Structures are given as C-alpha cells and as structure tokens.
C-alpha cells in the first residue's frame, strides 16, 4: 500500500464515521428541513461565536460565498500572494463575483498586519479600485502550515476598523491552528466578519465546509449557494460525518503535528537546505529542492516509484501533509524512501 502524503484530504472515513453517516436523520435541506445539517451549521457557528453557518460542499465555495458577501463587483479583496483564494480557486472571485485582488507577500505566508494595511486603499474615488476586504489564511497552506499570530490578527482587525474594511478568515485548517496555538476557536472568531472552515481536511470527513457569519449574510449566501447549483437535499448524511469529525478528530491533530515535525527533522538530517524544522508547527512539511539537481516533479516521481506519494506544487517545491491515516510505522518507511530518492 502506498503512503499518501499528498494532502490531508486523502483520508478514508472511519468505521465510526460511516456508522454516524448511516444513522443520520435527514430531510430536504433546500427547504431547511435537514436536522443534521441545521444542527451542524449552528454548532460550528457557535464554536466561533457567530450567529449562523451554511453548509457547503467545498471550502472553495465557502470562501467564495463569504467574500461575495463582503466585496461588491469591481471592488478589491487583499490577500497574501500564495493564498488559496488567490492561487487555488481558479480565479473564482473574478469569474463569479467580479472581485479584483491585490496581494502582499509574506514569508511562509506569515501575516504581518502592516503588510496588508499598507496596501489597502479604501474609498478610492471614481478612478481607482477601492479595497473593501482583507482575507487571512490560517493555517497558511502553501506557506507550509503556518499559524498566524493572534497579535497580528488583532492588529489587522484594529487597522481594518480604522479604514472601514471587513475581514475574511480562510480557516480551512483553523482546527490545526487552534490545536497548535491553544487559542480558542471563539477567540479566532472574534476578529472576522466571515469565516470558512473545512471538515474534509485534517478532520477526516469525506465532504463538507461551513461558511460562518451574521444571520443576515448567511441568509443571503444561502440564495447564492442555490444560484451556483449547490442547494443540496438529504445532505445530513454528510453533515453527520462533520459532527463525528468535530466530536472525535480535533484533539488528535496534535499527533499529525508531531509526525510532521519528526518528518521535518529527519529530512533536515538528509540535507539541511531542504527544510528548517523550526518552520513546521502544524501538519504541512514543505521542501525546498533548490539544493538538489532534481525538479520537484522528478523528486515526487522517484518517491512515488518507491511507494510514497507527495505533491509537487512548484518547480522546486514539494509538499508532504500528515493526516489521520498516516501512522508511526509508515513514517519510518517514508523517511527511508525520502533518503533513497533525494539527489543533491
């Protein structure tokens, strides 16, 4: 069996999760009749101290519904250069919502409030694009699972308030940030107008994201979700997996973080230029192959030929992501394969 570290989305629903799916009470969610969806939306909203939530099939859609509520066509959303909203949603903000973006670069995706605030241009008049919102990704995926400092989030909120801007949190992996930092989900929730979270990453559900905000924004977003063709029917079978994931799979993310750190230490021992283990604080291990004669895709192929799957995400950048279907024995094997596959 191959060891699959391409993403934390590759996990299989466990027996307990499948049992929860099988026994979920359901109804037609387009009519608001699915009790399992309704309770999941309420539960996740409450975790973050917000009024309401909306179940979405993907994190991309949850992000897109959220930013659509904050930014009008022709207005501007600011985000970090390598953020998922900018790089990995296929231009959806522009295509669906007429939103333009401008970006600031952050080392490992790390948020510095001043970087975002310095390029913000609200109320730019009739000739220039007006900034209306800023997006923060926590943890930062392409940054290598970076946890955003709560002090910078607070500073960004303060600056955004002074400029009359709204804030969106792309919290696909906010659970990882919460476990790594010990900061409460409700504390993260305080600073943002809209939030998206994924149940299908480290939490191990097969499908599901929640967009969270005020009742008013969520009511509007529900109309847009239907308009985009994502009004779903007896989808409590999926929401049940989400409940199960929240009950069972948050605290165990600490194991994924430990294994990612151990992997990083072992990889740095192969060649210290591949990664600085100090930068690994959650479940993502990003390798810089600048010191190797191999391209990222060549290295990924060599690993794959030996039974280890990882993602080549740039010419010289590969990503390994630990998850609930990856154990200590596989970790030992993975390190052996990485050693054997690396060429200086």
**What are the start-end ranges of the E strands in the chain?**
3-4, 52-56, 76-80, 100-104, 131-137, 166-171, 194-198, 209-213, 284-288, 308-309, 311-314, 317-321
Closest separation between CB of residue 80 and ligand PLP, Å?
Answer: 10
Task: Report which residue's Cβ sits closest to ligand PLP.
Answer: 59
How many residues are present in the chain? 344
d(CA 277, CA 268): 7
Total site size for ligand PLP, rule CB under 6 A: 13
> How crowded is residue 80: how many other Cβ atoms within 10 Å of its Cβ?
29
58 interacts with ligand PLP by CB under 6 A: yes
Query: Is 6 or 201 the residue whose CB approaches ligand PLP more closely?
Result: 201
Closest separation between CB of residue 162 and ligand PLP, Å?
Answer: 27
> How crowded is residue 229: how many other Cβ atoms within 10 Å of its Cβ?
8
Of 4, 53, 59, 178, which one interacts with ligand PLP (CB under 6 A)?
59
Adjacent-strand bridge partners of 4? 309
Closest separation between CB of residue 203 and ligand PLP, Å?
Answer: 12
Query: Is 200 or 341 the residue whose CB approaches ligand PLP more closely?
Result: 200
What residue has token string 């022709």? 74
170 interacts with ligand PLP by CB under 6 A: yes
Site string for ligand PLP, 195-224 (x = CB under 6 A): ---x-xx-------x---------------
75 interacts with ligand PLP by CB under 6 A: no
Distances (CA, A) of 246 to 166, 170, 175, 239: 28, 18, 10, 11
Which residues, 79 to 108, sit near ligand PLP by CB under 6 A? 84
Query: Is 63 or 148 the residue whose CB approaches ligand PLP more closely?
Result: 63
User: Buried b / exposed e across 268-290, counting CB within 10 Å, b at 16+?
Assistant: bebbeebbebebbbbbbbbbbbe
Site string for ligand PLP, 15-54 (x = CB under 6 A): ----------------------------------------
- Residues of this chain that interact with ligand PLP (CB under 6 A) are 58-60, 63, 84, 137, 141, 170, 172, 198, 200-201, 209
């Amino acid at each position: 069996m191959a060891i699959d570290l391409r993403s934390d989305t590759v996990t299989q629903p466990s027996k307990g999760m499948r049992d929860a799916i099988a026994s979920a009470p359901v109804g037609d969610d387009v009519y608001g009749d699915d009790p399992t969806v309704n309770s999941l939306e309420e539960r996740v909203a409450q975790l973050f101290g917000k009024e309401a939530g909306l179940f979405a099939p993907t994190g991309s859609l949850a992000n897109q519904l959220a930013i659509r509520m904050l930014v009008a066509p022709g207005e501007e959303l600011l985000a970090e250069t390598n953020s998922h909203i900018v790089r990995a949603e296929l231009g959806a903000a522009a295509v669906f919502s007429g939103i333009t973006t401008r970006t600031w670069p952050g080392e490992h995706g790390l948020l510095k409030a001043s970087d975002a605030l310095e390029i913000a241009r609200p109320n730019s008049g009739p000739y220039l694009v007006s900034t209306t919102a800023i997006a923060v990704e926590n943890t930062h995926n392409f940054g290598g699972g970076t946890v955003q400092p709560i002090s910078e989030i607070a500073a960004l909120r303060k600056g955004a308030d002074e400029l009359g801007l709204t804030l969106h949190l792309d919290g696909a992996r906010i659970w990882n940030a919460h476990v790594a930092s010990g900061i409460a989900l409700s504390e993260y929730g305080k600073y943002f107008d809209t939030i998206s979270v994924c149940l299908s990453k480290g939490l191990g559900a097969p499908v599901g994201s929640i967009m969270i905000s005020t009742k008013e924004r969520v009511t509007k977003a529900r109309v847009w979700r239907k308009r985009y063709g994502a009004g779903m029917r007896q989808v409590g079978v999926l929401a049940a997996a989400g409940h199960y994931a929240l009950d069972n799979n948050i605290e165990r993310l600490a194991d994924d973080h430990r294994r990612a750190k151990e992997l990083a230490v072992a990889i740095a021992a192969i060649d210290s230029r591949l990664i600085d283990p100090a930068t690994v604080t959650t479940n993502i291990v990003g390798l810089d192959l600048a010191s190797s004669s191999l391209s990222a895709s060549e290295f990924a192929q060599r690993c794959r030929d030996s039974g280890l799957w990882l993602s080549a995400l740039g010419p010289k950048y590969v990503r390994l992501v630990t998850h609930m279907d990856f154990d200590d024995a596989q970790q030992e094997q993975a390190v052996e394969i990485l050693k054997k596959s690396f060429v200086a």
